[in-house]
Amino acid sequence: MAPPLIAPSLLAADFARLGEEVETVAAAGADWLHLDIMDGHFVPNISFGPVVVKALRKRAAIPFDVHLMIAPADPYLAAFAEAGADWISLHPEAGPHLHRSLQTIRALGKKAGVVLNPATPVESVAHVLDLTDLILVMSVNPGFGGQSFLDSQLPKIAALRRMIDASGRDIRLQVDGGVTAATAPRCIAAGADVLVAGTAVFGQKDYAAAIAAIRGAPA
């Protein structure tokens, strides 16, 4: 089995030095950069918007993985695409027409993702797999970094792995929240192939060693 891709979450970076942080984590071996967009409405926290994504886009060549925690999301999809997002993921609860939102992301030429909150069932994505490039399982309640991994989400990851494999489609299975070198092996065993980690990368001194530890490879 190929090692998982690691997508460090910028939420845990030093916001006073964001450009430098992006360059450093890309050079340290990050496969993707995860960018958490929070509106203080869909989740009880505010982060940053497309202007910041666009400014950071120049600082690294790795794919930008934008996790939208905003509602409504539809009016902002084009802005994030234009800002340089490669992957755009949204929650089914962020709008009335998930199918249409995914169509919009694909029409913008971007990869489309569906994010499942801890209480959101796998059935929410079952009928839009043809428009889905990535399924993200939240292993914490969205809104904040540094929370503890919810083991209750492991059976969901395994169920989605079975669903994806049965579909025969090329869909990434990502996990976000409380992922560390200790919890990553359980995510990988359940079938995840992209791991988001904020605190476990940006909270460490040596980003390369932290990424390698989560990936399961020696630094």
The answer on whether 198 is annotated among ligand-binding residues is yes
Q: Is 39 in the site for Fe ion (CB under 5 A)?
A: no
The answer on whether 143 is annotated among ligand-binding residues is yes
Q: Is 113 in the site for ligand 5RP (CB under 6 A)?
A: no
Stretch binding Fe ion (CB under 5 A), from 39-47, 169-177, 185-193, 210-218: 169-177
Q: Is 4 in the site for ligand 5RP (CB under 6 A)?
A: no
Compose the 159-188 pattern: x for residues touching ligand 5RP by CB under 6 A, - for all others: -----------------xxxx---------
Q: Is 50 in the site for ligand 5RP (CB under 6 A)?
A: no
Contact 113, 89 (CB under 8 A): yes
How many residues bind ligand 5RP, per CB under 6 A?
Answer: 23
SS (HEC) of the chain? CCCCEEEEEHHHCCHHHHHHHHHHHHHCCCCCEEEEEEECCCCCCECCCHHHHHHHHCCCCCCEEEEEECCCCHHHHHHHHHHCCCEEEECHHHCCCHHHHHHHHHHCCCEEEEEECCCCCCHHHHCCHHHCCEEEEECCCCCCCCCCCCHHHHHHHHHHHHHHHHHCCCCEEEEECCCCCCCHHHHHHHCCCEEEECHHHHCCCCHHHHHHHHHCCCC
Q: Is 140 in the site for ligand 5RP (CB under 6 A)?
A: yes
- Which residue lies nearer to ligand 5RP by CB, 34 or 215? 34
CA angle 197, 97, 144 (to 5 degrees): 25
Q: How far is the CB of 10 from ligand 5RP (least distance, A)?
A: 9
Q: Is 21 in the site for Fe ion (CB under 5 A)?
A: no
Stretch binding ligand 5RP (CB under 6 A), from 17-25, 81-89, 136-144, 153-161: 136-144
Token pair for 80: 């994030």
Among 29, 50, 113, 143, binds ligand 5RP (CB under 6 A): 143
Token pair for 142: 């969205």
**Active site amino acids:** 36, 176
Query: Which residues belong to the annotated binding site?
Result: 9, 34, 36, 67, 143-146, 176-178, 198-199
Could you list the residues that contact ligand 5RP (CB under 6 A)?
9, 11-12, 34, 36, 67, 69, 140, 142-147, 176-179, 196-200
